[in-house]
Chain A
Amino acid sequence: MRALDKNGGPGYTGRVDFIADWRDKGLLKPEQARLLSDIESGRLFSISAELKAFLYIGALLIVAGVGGTVKRYMLELGPAAITAGLSAAVLACFYYCFSRGRPYSPEKIESPTPAFDYILYMGCAFWGILFGYLETHYHLLAANWDYYLLASSALFFWLAYRFDNRLVLAMALTTLGSWFGFRFSHVDLPFFALRQRGLAFGAAVVFSGWWLENRARVKEHFADTYYSIGLHALFWSLLWGLFDQGVVSFYAPALALLCAATIRYGLRRRNFQYLLWGTVYGYIGLSDIMVRNVFGLLGIIGVGLDSLYFMASSVAVIVLIFAFRKRLEQDA
């Protein structure tokens, strides 16, 4: 049973019942073949993914419904009812999580119940709605309202580590990023505009992920979440700087260095995702430099050269990624 023979021609026998074929050849044990045959024929039918989707969509609809109700009936319901209702919802969700959750561990832990992660998410979302409402209605912190973001971020970080939930961790990181962006927008610091703040935030997040993974060794499986959010913040800030300041600036070499480091890290960890990011962001940066700083100066000739550049560079990137992939497969 071969798909292609030595010359690349078809050699597969064409039998649809490959499970029986593999069983007869001793590649599968009889009891394995029976189970696999039941699964493939649909005699044993799993709806696990569909049930998860129901939970996911259900949680999303509940949050949307509660948010919509607060927004629409803010005046009719009154602050006491809304605050009490949302507080009760937050407490109920967190009570469920603390009463059912497994003890904290620096290692990865599984969710105790099917609905656990979704209820934790709803608790966090209700918390956000509650704080949003409180600030809208009472203006407790007025101009310093962004400290709600900082407080929410701290809570989400704690919950993410306590219950081992990467979505809540991502919420914590982005909420912290939002606070970082808003907070320093009030302060007129030189060399610390939004782009620089993005760079600082991205670098801090990447460093935190590295430190937690390699030094503290706490929840090492969270590292990818830190790296993905931090690296994207860095890449976008650098690209923005490149688009804005041009090739003769700090941003072009910084982007090249970051791309090289990301690719190197991907090769070392045998993780194709990082290779992909390094290559794609590098390609975007290089294309911007070529189109604006090289072909843009050549007038109508440059338009034709643009096409040739994209043709050649697309093929080159394909070949490069293909080579990375081959190397990863050989290393594996």
Chain B
Amino acid sequence: MRILGEEVEAALYARETARGWKRSGLIAPEQLSAIEGALGPMPGEAGWAVRALFFWLAWMAAGSVASFLSWTVFGETTTAAIFMGVSAAGSYYIGQRVLKANKLYRFGVEEGLLVAALFHLCGALLLAAGRGLDFEQYALLLGIPAALYCAWLYARFGYLYGAFGAVLALTLVACSQFKGFKENDARVVLAVLYAILLAATALRKEISAHDRLGWQVLQSFLFLMICLFLNLRLEKLADFDRVSAPEASAFYWASFGAICVGPAAALVWAVRSRQRPLLIAAFTACLLALVSVKPYLGLERHAWDPAVLGAFLMTLSLWLKHRLDSGPDGQRDGWTAKSLIVGRNDGPDLSSLIAAATAASAGGGTPAPQDKGFTGQGGSSGGAGASGSL
């Protein structure tokens, strides 16, 4: 199914894994060279910043072609639709060609072209359909092809955002048909849709090593979204001033039970199975459940509640680190607080830039007290803790 074949995907994964070992000091640079030599020539990949830039430029180039073609027909919509369709096919073909002929994979250029093909396809469909359709029809017209195309992007090219795009396009289609639905009914339909998708992803038994993490990320996203859909007090979390009395319906209390029990069960499962994406998603869902308790029970919330939660998180982090560090070899049952694999650092130092952008309000003496923002990672890579011993 994959355009370069499972073997090349496996080799790319192996190479990236070996590079991570070298960054972490687990193997010597000579060993990495030997490993890369043994793997042989492979498609080029780019760091996220370059990849994003190339993606944007290629997307813009493809868009400019479509724009130029449309400009030549001076508002003749049928011909413009045909040109858009041709442009979509051309973008897809060139994207695939760049990938195969130039051996660039996850490089941004081919991705920009392949994603541009989707936009041009949707543009062609819109132009062909004209202006006579209502919102539900437009959603069906665009959502279903978009979902299919995005799913194809994942299946054929391995782009994880393709899978996310397919899920979101399906959600758009579902939401467009909610006319006349009550709010709770819509929530249940969406939760059931995501539960079905989650169950469908669980049916995939043979998952290769290079696909496993991405698949787990997708499953964790679906799980987290179910928790969000079922949380009836989510939109009230930001409103500290208003206290709403709890509803007397069975659905209300069932949803409260679901958002408490589901994340806790998922957390236990994630700890047992050691799935990092699920661990993160389940913990996030647990935190959301925790902060939803007061709004659900109709209790008054205080301005210092976030500080209490923050203190709890910091204490938990320090306690867990102390507990794991005090075990034999700094580990307990295979769990460790030591950093084992150092991640890629191939983008601009965003943490210090973002911190710089917010520091004027966060750090300086300003004439009015205000909530303080903090968006760096602190410390010595522009992010606190980067030079810490965690």
B261 contacts A by Cβ under 8 Å: no
Cβ contacts B30-50/A at 8 Å (1 or 0 each) = 010011001111110000011
Closest to B390 in A: A114
A248 contacts B by Cβ under 8 Å: no
> How far does the alpha carbon of A130 sit from the alpha carbon of B297 in the complex, in Å?
34
Contact A321 B53 (CB under 8 A): yes
Q: In the complex, what residues of B have CB within 8 A of residue A133's CB?
A: 369
> How far does the alpha carbon of A314 sit from the alpha carbon of B34 in the complex, in Å?
37
Interface residues of B in 151-206 (CB under 8 A from A): none
Chain B: minimal CB distance from A101 (Å): 12
Contact A276 B378 (CB under 8 A): no
Closest to A117 in B: B384
Cβ-defined partner of A165 (8 Å) among B26, B57, B337, B378: B378
Contact B39 A148 (CB under 8 A): no
Would you call the interface of chain A mostly helix, strand, loop, or mixed? helix
Residue among B26, B53, B370, B378 with the most chain A CB within 10 A?
B378
Cβ-defined partner of B351 (8 Å) among A58, A127, A167: A167
Cβ contacts A9-32/B at 8 Å (1 or 0 each) = 011111110100010010110001
Contact A55 B317 (CB under 8 A): yes
> How far does the alpha carbon of A250 sit from the alpha carbon of B360 in the complex, in Å?
29
Q: Interface size for chain B: under 10, 10 to 19, 20 to 34, or 35 or more residues?
A: 35 or more
Question: How many residues of A are in contact with the other chain, CB < 8 A?
Answer: 127
Q: In the complex, what residues of A have CB within 8 A of residue B376's CB?
A: 167, 170
A39-B340 contact, Cβ under 8 Å, with A14-B6, A14-B7, A62-B307? yes
Residue among B305, B340, B372 with the most chain A CB within 10 A?
B372
> How far does the alpha carbon of A79 sit from the alpha carbon of B26 in the complex, in Å?
55
Q: In the complex, what residues of B have CB within 8 A of residue A228's CB?
A: 348-349, 352-353, 356
Cβ-defined partner of A120 (8 Å) among B49, B53, B360, B384: B384
Contact A167 B383 (CB under 8 A): yes
A55-B385 contact, Cβ under 8 Å, with A74-B369, A114-B321, A174-B357? yes
Chain B: minimal CB distance from A194 (Å): 14
Contact A22 B35 (CB under 8 A): yes
Q: In the complex, what residues of A have CB within 8 A of residue B129's CB?
A: none
Contact B387 A164 (CB under 8 A): yes
Chain A: minimal CB distance from B115 (Å): 14
Cβ-defined partner of A49 (8 Å) among B15, B311, B339: B339
| Chain B residues within 8 Å of A, Cβ to Cβ | 4-8, 10-12, 14-15, 17, 21, 26-27, 31, 34-35, 38-43, 49-50, 53-54, 57-58, 60-61, 63-65, 67-68, 71-72, 103, 109, 208-209, 240, 274, 279-280, 283, 302-314, 316-318, 320-321, 324, 331, 334-341, 343, 346, 348-349, 351-353, 355-357, 359-360, 362-372, 374, 376-390
8 A-B pairs, CB-CB below 8 angstroms?
A: A10-B5, A39-B26, A118-B314, A125-B372, A156-B363, A170-B352, A175-B363, A314-B61
